[in-house]
Structure 1
Amino acid sequence: MIQQIYPSVPHPYRYELNKDLQFAAAHYVPSPAAGPCSRVHGHTYFVNVTIAGNDLDDNGFLANFSDIKRWIHDRFDHSLLNDHAEHFQDDDSNRYPTTEVVARTICELVQSHLDRTVNRPRCLQVFLRETPTSYVVYRPMAGGGLL
């Protein structure tokens, strides 16, 4: 795993969890403005997810690290992101699998799982590195909105 210092998210919570993971996936951006990225190509994505909350669950976890890996890695690893039609669409630029949209989608997926836990922590940030020189940081809007 790449060693990285991630941007810090100021928050009022007692606990902060960060999970690093990676997945290999292909994608294309269905727009002429994407240039060569409009053709199918692949990346090894590096992800850091920041989760925070005040309460731990019955197992003493804010969130289980293996669950986070399952929600992201197991879903997207060795896949064509464009094939995940529930998340990405070729006819809606707000749902093209750009790095920005993939980061937002990861945040939404994580939060949807966290919302079903007893301690209900918050996904505060997703850092997504697509290449050694390009990354996106996504943070949900203040007030808990995800879009």
Structure 2
Amino acid sequence: MLQQIYPSPQHDYCYELNKDFQFAAAHYVPSEEAGKCRMMHGHTYYANVTVAGDELDATGFLVNFSIIKKLIHDRFDHTLLNDDAESFDAADPNRFPTTEVVARTICDIVQRYLDGTANKPRCLQVYLRETPTSYCVYRPKRNGRAASHD
């Protein structure tokens, strides 16, 4: 992936890690208002995941880069996203596999993993590019405000 500048979330953690990766997946948006996106089609998604924290783990990592890629790439690459019933649901617009929901889902998957680590870093942002001209940035809220160190 070519180097790219991403929007940066504000925080006061000591460490910030960013992992770029891509995956190819098909999807469709099950809504009349989705236009052409109602039809099954595919993308090569480009993702950037931002993780931050104050403590390193026993190996000196905030989190191993390869784990972030494995969590998402192994799950979604060369799939029909709509088939992942754990993440997406054709009956709930908040769970249609739109770029926004896929970005949120990536963040949730990464954070679930991070919650199980001893150093407990936070996933602060997922940048997800669906096409050369369209992308979404997802930043989870924490305690009713944008994610930041407490």
Q: TM-score range by the shorter chain?
A: over 0.9
Q: Which residue of 2 aligns with 1:69?
A: 69
Q: Give the superposition deviation at 1:142.
A: 3.1
Residue 38 of structure 1 aligns with an amino acid whose one-letter code is R
Residue 129 of structure 2 aligns with an amino acid whose one-letter code is R
Deviations along 1:66-110, one digit per CA (max 9) or x if unpaired, are 100110011000000000000001000000000000000000000
Q: Secondary structure at the match of 1:62?
A: coil
Q: Give the superposition deviation at 1:143.
A: 2.7
Q: Which residue of 2 aligns with 1:121?
A: 121
Residue 42 of structure 2 aligns with an amino acid whose one-letter code is G
Residue 32 of structure 1 aligns with an amino acid whose one-letter code is E
Q: Percent same amino acid among aligned pairs?
A: 69
TM-score, normalised by the number of residues in structure 2: 0.94
Cα 1:144–1:54 shift into 2, 3 Å: farther
Residue 107 of structure 1 aligns with an amino acid whose one-letter code is C
Q: Secondary structure at the match of 1:4?
A: coil
Q: Give the superposition deviation at 1:3.
A: 2.6
Q: Secondary structure at the match of 1:90?
A: coil
Unaligned 5+ residue runs, structure 2?
Answer: none
Q: Which residue of 2 aligns with 1:30?
A: 30
Aligned residues: 146
Residue 49 of structure 2 is aligned to residue 49 of structure 1: yes
Deviations along 1:38-92, one digit per CA (max 9) or x if unpaired, are 0100000000000000000000000011100110011000000000000001000
Q: Give the superposition deviation at 1:145.
A: 8.4
Distance 2:76 2:16 in 1: 25
Unaligned 5+ residue runs, structure 1?
Answer: none
Q: Which residue of 2 aligns with 1:90?
A: 90
Q: Which residue of 2 aligns with 1:141?
A: 141
Residue 31 of structure 1 aligns with an amino acid whose one-letter code is S
Q: Give the superposition deviation at 1:2.
A: 3.3
Distance 2:119 2:29 in 1: 37
Q: Which residue of 1 aligns with 2:3?
A: 3
Q: Give the superposition deviation at 1:4.
A: 1.4
Q: Secondary structure at the match of 1:46?
A: strand
Distance 2:91 2:65 in 1: 34
Cα 1:110–1:144 shift into 2, 3 Å: farther
Distance 2:139 2:69 in 1: 19
TM-score, normalised by the number of residues in structure 1: 0.96
Q: Secondary structure at the match of 1:45?
A: strand
Q: Which residue of 2 aligns with 1:110?
A: 110
Q: CA RMSD in A?
A: 1.4
